[in-house]
Structure 1
Amino acid sequence: MKTLINLLLFVSLTAIQAQNTIEGTLLENNTNNPIAFANIYLPQLEKGTTTDESGHFVLQNLPSGNYKIVFSFIGFESHSKTIQIPISKPLEIALNPSAIEMDAVILSTPFHKLQRENVMKVEYEKVSDLKAIGAITLSDGIDNIAGVESITTGLSIGKPVIRGLSSNRVLVYAQGVRLENQQFGAEHGLGLNDAGIESIEVIKGPASLLYGSDALGGVLYLNPEKFAPINESAADVTGNYYSNTLGYSTNAGYKASGDKFKYLFRGSITGHSDYETPNYRVTNTRFKEQDFKAGLGYQSTQFKTEFRYNVNHSKLGIPEEVTDQSTDKNPLLPYQDITNHIFSSKSTMFFDKSSLEINLGYTYNNRKEFEDEHDHDDYEEHEEHEEHEEAALNMKLKTFNYDMKYHLPVYGKFETIFGVQGMNQVNGNYGEEILIPNAVTNDFGVLGTSHIHFESIDVQLGFRYDYRHISIENEFSKNYNSFNGAAGIKADVFKYITTRFNVSTGFRAPNLSELASDGVHHGTNRYEIGNPDLVNEQNIQLDLALEHNSDHFEFFINGFYNYVFDYIYLAPNGQIIDTAPVYNYLQDNARLYGGEIGFHLHPHPLDWLHFESSFETVTGKQDNGDYLPLIPANSLLNTVRVEYENKWLNSGFGFITLRSTFKQGHVSYFETSTPSYNLLSAGIGGTVSVFNNDLILSISGTNLTNKNYINHLSRLKQDGIYNMGRNISVGVTYQL
């Protein structure tokens, strides 16, 4: 009790420390002209403002300590610096003009730096930009990020693949907490809607130092939309139409912030018919989805917190063969009925020169699968009464996780963080079929990492220890542990050239499916047999990146070599059970290597014109010489993009893109090769003023030549079913 009282007194004393204010002026370098309406943001405090017409800004009610402040505006190079609050005099910052896009603050790494300041290379994309170029779903959009693909089952189900690794080897974070929704299965999608997601960050390579098990291959980090600025409110309505599926997605949101409290909410509805190829519609690729997101925040001088909630309900058809030709949007049997709840709490306490972050999350995933033997018409008539009883597979996964990080006071050139993370997960079965058994999983991890900044060199070091205990009901218990580390260096070699070199290790404990499966997995038509003797997958990856950045030209080349010890894979054993081929889980060492190369040309004085090109490749092989399955084919992406402004159109754009996917002939022994193909896309858009509010319009087309093709990562490939044909997307957003 005495300790609790002392802690409360300490928090009370820090809360009444003097409130601080910073102010300053933002100017254009060389001319000293003020920059109006530029963004000023402190990422650690999640607090910002904009400059007035004279380039002046004020930020109030700030805690004492060392914090990074970021200045950004379109047409200028983003600038960041660390300031010590309280500050003795007004800031005067000069920005350099730049034709290249603004640099973003990266939140998936612990020090929240601009991308060019990070030791680790992180890919960043705005969801609005991905939608503008024709992305239909979130998993469809991530295919446009370098080094990232998706394993798909039609349009509705997609799983991220980062440099050849997927499923439990790629960790997904949403609302600042790890997403757990039975992602072990190839036919289990993200269970997320893009409405209310602002941007996507991708860490390509082992991120176990930051996130523990399951981040062996990388992290897909989804940033939710920000709250409204202080004492402001905003609302918007968005509608999208897709010609190929006769589909729609609509969402509406509202947010408002006062001096201390802030809130937001957003709801969306989506529906798609079976997608169409040049020859037929693919039966039962139809789906319907409802999504709701809400957030509540509070911020004072020494403390900030936010609570977010997301519920997503979807009914997803599971395609098997091309039969019924229909534009109905109600799935046929078999189909999945999935409800996913995400509760998250994110809080920070600011002390004199340090801070403590506490992130808590709870995910409740209910996955139901309905099979062919049930009468579909009968189901529609008695949906509410019969649904639970008719579900052949009914799994409930409940996950609580916590993440606490203490940011030590900045010591000279050192920024240091220590933290603990953990998870409790319970899997339960309530249907007549059991794909994976009832089980409880507990994780605990400790980590420490430092960023050391010199004049032209940055170094990042870290270590971590993890322990996982899995208890499978009426069967066995297993313990797993692992030490991991990372070291990296970023150096500015010449004026415009930066190089990054990282060495990192990762691990993944076997999942329940790999340990204890014993039955037919209808989504894949396999009889899978688990292996309780599986050990940790452990890997080490080397990354080398070279970048040239100048006002009108960017060039990058990224190379990686990833060696995975005890890689877990499925292999057929030649037996047949219940008409399904039997697959066993085995282990062998594996290696993956490849990278990305590209450039972005913005010729002077044609400030409205962009040429972009990128090539990506990955090869995956086991030590025995066999190629790994589900490795993306090499691809080349070429884009010509224009940007324009006039009196009636703001942020106007147009683009033409040609994606060339090469033949994938390096396949595992139970795969077949996939031919090459080319896809042409184009689009235009911009913002107009309607009743003094912004109306954002876009129209884009994908696969404009209506090409018949099959992606190597399509799970419908084995049945010879083509991917989607020509699609025209029309998007409208009205901001209030």
Structure 2
Amino acid sequence: MNRYLLAMLLLLPQITFAIGEIKNNKLSGVISDQKNNTPLPGVSIFIPEIQKGTISETDGSYKLDNLPSGKLTIQFSFIGYESVIKTILIKTENTHLDINLPFTTVTTQEVVVSGGFPSAQHENSIKISVIKENELQQLSTPSLGEKLASIPGVDVISRSPGVSTPVIRGLSLNNIIFLNNGVRLENFQFSTDHPFLTNEQGADHIEVIKGPASLLYGSDAMGGVINVLKEKPAPANSFKANINSEFHSVTQGNSNSIGVKSSGKDWFWMIRANQQSHKDYKDASGNYVPNSRFNTEGLQVGLGLIKEYGSFKIYYDYLQPKLGMTNGESLKVVSEGKRKNHYWYQDLTQHLISSRNRLFIGRYKLEVNAAYQFNNRRLNGNPNSEIFRMVDMDLNTFTYDSKLYFPSSDNSEFLVGFQGMHQSNQNHEAPNRVIPDAQIDDFSVFSLMKKQIGAANIQFGVRYDHRSIYVPEQEAGGHSHGEAEEHEEEEEHHDEGEHEEELVHINRKFDHLNASLGATFHISELLLLRSNFASGYRVPNLAELSQHGLHGNRFEEGNMDLDPQKSLESDLGIHYHTHNHNIDFSMFYNKVYDYIYLAPTDEPAPEGEGNVYAYSQQDAKLYGGEVAINVVPLSFLQFHTDYAMVIAKQDDGGRLPFIPQHKWNMNVKLFAKGNKLFKDPFFSINWKYAFKQDNPAQFETETSSYDLFGLQAGSDFKIGKYNVNLLVSASNLFDKKYIDHLSSLKSLGFYNPGRNLSIKLGINL
């Protein structure tokens, strides 16, 4: 605790000013079409830093009250027009800003917040990919992981639509960080059976950093960061409500969400409830994949106060998924095609409460955030056996961070900050201790500078991290056989639970220094070049340090002497855009030192089959790239294609696990003119081709190529005074029988989902 107080004391002397006279700053203006200068009503005006926005009136005018003094980034967006992002310095009580929106037919840039400073995508030295709200709505799958995989360079390790783990440029699990509205999620994500617990229902957009982001987020961000941003509050002085419902034939599943929100002059509130219920999915042969069912309930609440001197927000998220486990044990007892979870399932509970605040003090900005997460993980087996609850653990995590933004000029910005975490894991009365009782403490300090020099935006930062891991002396626990991923046949429970007793005690401290240097060169208004060089690191997790027991029918042994993984990655990207097409090209090279992996030893296993498998380390490298092209040759026709590849090798010539197949996607979308009843109708056809993966890791096998087709049609229309959105989709249209290389059911011989017919209906009240 002393170090936390010390960090605050280091920051406070720099705030040598007082809050001056509070002014009612106003921003107003008129928004018009750039081509013919006609007013545009219904344009969204939004300030991400304070979560405040409004809508332009019928004459194109807009007004925002009670704004803080200082530098603010504002986004003006409207369907069919290119988003305009302005960074302005509010000095007087009445600031006037007129905006001309240019027409565009392709995807436009967004304001992104995951890169340190709220800014336009084109200003960041690191590429931040974005899935916007309307794009999320058009991704017809019950799996958040599959939605993320629509981004080139992002893939998904999947056991079922309910259990999936994202992969960013070949790195996954504890090599990436998942954020819920900026809060780092911690929910036992050390295995492919443990998905990140977040809910994208109602999300405004998702931001993905591809590549090391340890400078901003610390350990585990060496592969990248995924940030799910909450929906925006209602425009000032308004009330909004919506109902969304969808059905998927492949799981006979439904997903429903209802949300209401309201904003006044200087406050807002929002609440959203959601649920999902899915049966076992069917493959292309019409066969059920036993126990791939899942059921989820969730609740999201938000409250906010926005004044001239700052914004203060508090959020509560509740999620309770029940995830079926398809493994050797469940195949013996589960009835296919059912909905409820009875045998071999994870019963998870997550509560997350977070406070996110920003103070405007003179020309300084101070951000102070804190969050508390409670996660309970229960693995339930066969209720007819002697022991039903196999695993019962609580993970409690307190995270905090603060950033001080110094006075900025038109061409420079600078911040310093600190972050920290206190985490405790506690096992209850259950026979399997997947990870031991433990405490983890993090603390870091960092600084980030951004400066424009001519046509180049330069960004540089440094960071120091400290982590301590303490595991009091206790008996090492074996893994629950419910988590077996690679093996069809498993021994009975009472046999698996027997192994040599071994005590584990860990008291280790890790320190690391990271840096990042990048630049964006605006060669012209249409062409920019982006480059970045960054370091990253990851401290070994508790499973890698302390494991001792069976995992499936393989005996696995942790290594308490593991060193942290470290990496150096270089990125190069090119972006070119006009009003009717854009091209994104990027390539990367990531050198990973002391990569942690599992390998067999010469020691015979005390139980299970073969020899002991132990964690070892070796240097490795990952390299590849992505390209994406959007073209609108005619006003009613849009064409998209993208290609992504990654190659990953250990220095001894071996291959890294969970490396996706190279994939090529194409999509053609047709737009109709519409009429009084139907607004903006469209039809699209898409094709995905996955190349053969003939470079598997030591415990993997080769995977054949496959291709999938899909169709989609949708339109907005009105029912009375309500705006309604309808979307009908068919994925895996020809019912292709295939297995993706990253399917964790591959070793059990189960195929990926077959044809899925889905329908989505959204009603805005």
Letter in 2 for 1:299: I
SS in 2 for 1:209: helix
2:62 is aligned with 1:53 = no
Equivalent residue, structure 2, for 1:294: 301
1:670 maps to which residue? Answer: 699
1:65-464 alignment to 2 at 5 Å? 65-87=70-92, 90-279=96-285, 280-320=287-327, 326-372=336-382, 374-375=383-384, 390-411=388-409, 413-430=411-428, 431-464=430-463
Aligned-pair CA distance for 1:580: 5.1
> Once the two structures are superposed, what CA deviation does each residue of 1:20-45 show, in whole Å capped at 9, x if it has no partner?
11211222224222222212222222
- Whether the 8 Å contact between 2:436 and 2:542 is mirrored in structure 1 is yes
Work out whether 1:21 is the aligned partner of 2:51.
no
Following the alignment from structure 2 to structure 1, what is the Cα–Cα distance between the partners of residues 443 and 606?
A: 39
Structure 1 residues 450 and 238, CA gap change in structure 2 (3 angstroms): same
1:609 aligns with 2:637: yes
Structure 1 residue aligned with 2:728, among 699, 702, 723?
699
Q: How many residues align?
A: 714
Would you say the 8 A contact 1:137–1:194 is kept in 2? no
8 Å contact from structure 1 (residues 73, 102) kept in 2: no
Quick check: 1:516 aligned with 2:515?
A: no
Q: Distance in 1 between matches of 2:722 and 2:297?
A: 27
TM-score, structure 1 as length reference: 0.94
Of 623, 631, 648, the match for 1:620 = 648
Cα distance in 1 between the residues matched to 2:320 and 2:23: 47
| Partners of 1:12 and 1:498 in 2: CA distance | 39
Partner Cα separation in structure 2 for residue 412 and residue 144 of structure 1? 36
Assess if the C-alpha contact under 8 Å between 1:139 and 1:190 holds in 2.
no
Q: Secondary structure at the match of 2:19?
A: helix
What letter corresponds to residue 721 of structure 2 in structure 1? N
| 1:68 positional shift | 1.9
CA distance in 2, matches of 1:354, 1:110: 16
Give the C-alpha shift of residue 466 in structure 1: 0.2
Q: Distance in 2 between matches of 1:65 and 1:498?
A: 28
For residues 410 and 162 of structure 2, the distance between their equivalents in structure 1, rounded to whole angstroms, comes to 50
Deviation at 1:413, TM superposition (A): 2.0
From 586, 593, 599, the equivalent of 1:571 is: 599
Which string of whole-angstrom CA distances, capped at 9 and with x for unpartnered residues, describes residues 562-598 of structure 1?
A: 0000000111336434325632111000000001012
1:22–1:179 CA distance, 2 compared to 1 (3 A): same
- Higher mean displacement: 11-20 or 216-225: 11-20
Q: Is the 8 A contact 1:15 1:302 kept in 2?
A: no
- Deviation per residue, 1:514-543 (Å, 9 max, x gap): 111112235xx5432110110111101000
Q: Which moved more, 1:196-205 or 1:540-549?
A: 196-205
* Residue identity in the other structure for 2:448: T
Matched-pair contact (CA < 8 Å) for 2:40–2:60? yes
SS at structure 2 position matched to 1:538: strand
Query: Identity rate of aligned residues, in percent?
Result: 35
Given the two structures, how large is their TM-score scaled by the length of structure 2? 0.90
**SS of the residue aligned with 2:288?**
coil
Shift of 1:287: 1.2
**Mean Cα deviation higher: 651-660 or 156-165:** 651-660
**Structure 1 position 584 matched with structure 2 position 590:** no
In the other structure, the counterpart of 1:729 is 758
Question: Relative to structure 1, is the Cα distance of residues 131 and 46 closer, same or farther in structure 2, using a 3 angstrom cutoff?
Answer: closer
Structure 1 residues 425 and 15 mapped into 2: Cα distance closer, same or farther (>3 Å)? farther
Contact residue 21 and residue 86 of structure 1 kept, 8 A: no
Is 1:536 matched with 2:535?
no
Deviation at 1:363, TM superposition (A): 1.0
Deviation at 1:74, TM superposition (A): 2.1
What is the CA deviation profile of residues 65-93 of structure 1, one whole-angstrom value per residue up to 9, with x for unaligned ones? 12222222222222222222134662222
Q: Structure 1 CA distance, aligned partners of 2:469 and 2:740?
A: 36
In 2, the alpha carbon distance for the partners of 1:632 and 1:186 equals 14
Would you say 1:477 and 2:507 are equivalent positions? yes
Q: Distance in 2 between matches of 1:212 and 1:191?
A: 20
Question: Which residue type is aligned with residue 338 of structure 1?
Answer: L
Does structure 2 conserve the Cα–Cα contact (< 8 Å) formed by 1:176 and 1:359?
A: no
2:658 is aligned, of 615, 630, 633, to 630
Structure 1 pair 651/302, CA: closer, same or farther in 2 (3 Å)?
Answer: farther
Asked if the contact 2:50/2:306 (under 8 Å) is kept, the reply is no
The aligned runs of 1:679-690 (5 Å cut-off) are 679-690=708-719
Match of 1:650 among 670, 676, 679: 679
C-alpha distance in structure 1 between counterparts of 2:711 and 2:139, whole Å: 7
Q: Distance in 2 between matches of 1:537 and 1:439?
A: 21
Q: Which stretch of structure 1 is more off in the superposition, 613-622 or 87-96?
A: 87-96
Aligned position for 1:382:
none
Q: Tell me how far 1:699 sits from its aligned partner.
A: 0.7
Task: After the TM superposition, list the runs of 4 or more consecutive aligned residues in structure 1 that deviate by more than 6 angstroms.
Answer: 10-13
For the 8 Å contact 2:583–2:629, the answer to whether it is kept is yes
Worse-matched range after superposition: 711-720 or 493-502: 493-502
Larger displacement relative to structure 2 (228-237 or 502-511): 228-237
